[in-house]
Amino acid sequence: MKTSWRTASLVATAASVLALTTACGQDNGTTPASAAQNVGATAPAGSPTTGAGTGSGNGYGADGNQSTGSPTPAAPAGKLTVAANADLGKVLTDGSGLTLYRFDNDTADPPKSNCDGDCAKTWPPVPADDATAGAGIDKALLGEVTRADGTKQLTVAGWPAYRYAKDVNAGEVNGQGVGGKWFALAPNGKKASLAALPGLSVHKDPKLGDIIVDKNGMTVYRFLKDKAWPKSVSNCTGACLEKWPAVGIVKPEDTQGVKKKGLMGFTRPDGVKQMTVNCWPIYTFSGDKAPGDTNGQGVGGTWYAVSPDGKPVGAPGN
């Protein structure tokens, strides 16, 4: 499911300290003594995840494995249509309603497909022969590229178009975000996406419920080893911070659905400015490849998605 945040600097007066202590002193959950800083930890078996962005990015399937068997003849593209998707906005589909995708390893200028062999079995190229533009599609954006095997593949604004083998029914978008390189096509050839999100907003996850996401729709996390106000402290540094990037500062007015209490920023010892929710430092996870992914949930027993009131979702005692 997109702007930067800034907060006003804290005023060093007794009155403001008292106000901030009141604002941030309500959620003082304890951290397990045995909880160690997580650097490069992997999610435990059974950790809830969502989204399709779990592939290895090698151009095969969602699990990163090569497809087997012979490719079946590609179905005609037919009259292209524009479908509405709740998470992605306007999505380009073929005449049967199947979602069309683009591949980050391809190029649009000049058009070139870099998905052949086993990749093309999982991501069948869309034939250019009979493709026509339906309502809401600029026919001038439709073109073709000659593949290595001599066949003509449909292009949209120069980007070669594909279907996904695991999309069976019209409207499915199981290929969205696979390997961090495959994305549904918008009618203009760009990656399908909704209008810009606020700096912080709330996303309803099917397993975790309401959780906070950043301006790119990526899940936001808390680290149980951190400390909140009166002295916000991040205990994720060095290699840990590479895996769990700090969320930059956001203006309170650039948030939606997030509780305003304790919504502020602070400067880390390394000079990085980091946002807090309910005065707790927040992060994203490098292991999340697409909006909606929650691969960081429960990692090491110390990393958890954040609820709209700043609490760690699913953490012990919450």
The CA–CA distances, whole Å, from 273 to 23, 206, 247, 248, 252 equal: 20, 32, 8, 6, 15
> pLDDT averaged over the chain?
81
From 25-29, 77-81, 237-241, 288-292, the region with the lowest mean pLDDT: 25-29
HSE (side-chain half, CA atoms, 13 Å) at 309: 8
d(CA 23, CA 180): 38
pLDDT at position 24, please?
62
Phi, psi (rounded to 5 degrees) for 252: -55, -35
Q: What percent of the chain has a predicted confidence (pLDDT) above 70?
A: 76
d(CA 193, CA 159): 16
Tokens of 156: 């949209």
Task: Name residue, tokens 């540094």.
Answer: 237
d(CA 159, CA 186): 11
Q: Does position 183 have pLDDT exceeding 80, yes or no? A: yes
Q: Does position 31 have pLDDT exceeding 90, yes or no? A: no
Tokens of 286: 């490098």
pLDDT at position 125, please?
98
Q: Does position 38 have pLDDT exceeding 50, yes or no? A: no
pLDDT at position 151, please?
95
Q: Does position 76 have pLDDT exceeding 80, yes or no? A: yes
Read off the pLDDT of residues 97-134 as tens digits, 9 standing for 90 and up: 999 999 999 999 999 999 999 999 999 999 999 999 99
Q: Does position 135 have pLDDT exceeding 50, yes or no? A: yes
Q: What percent of the chain has a predicted confidence (pLDDT) above 90?
A: 64
Residue type, 98: L
pLDDT at position 42, please?
36
pLDDT at position 307, please?
97
pLDDT band at 195 (very low <50, low <70, confident <90, very high): low
d(CA 154, CA 139): 12
